[in-house]
Amino acid sequence: MTTKSPVLRWFTSSYSSNGGNCVEVAADLAASGVVPVRDSKRPTGPVLMVSAAAFAGLVGLARSADL
């Protein structure tokens, strides 16, 4: 038996305006504790599966950074 992968809705931050050098995330699986992350320039490339807690920590760090 094969399991179909869910169709994910990928998005980038509304703050992404650096010419396409960004990552995309799919929040569809966050309720199950996983956040998929990929390179926006390689949509068919590899996907990094990050725990929802780790991703929340990364977002918190980015928000607090002086960028």
Residue type, 51: S
Q: How far is CA 27 from the centre of its chain?
A: 7
pLDDT at position 50 is 93
Q: What is the pTM of this model?
A: 0.73
Write out pLDDT tens, residues 6-40: 688 998 876 666 666 788 999 888 788 999 999 88
Write out pLDDT tens, residues 33-66: 999 999 888 889 999 999 999 999 988 998 897 7
SS3 11: strand
Helix (H) or strand (E) holding 64: helix 52-64
Give residue limits of the domains in the chain.
Answer: 23-64
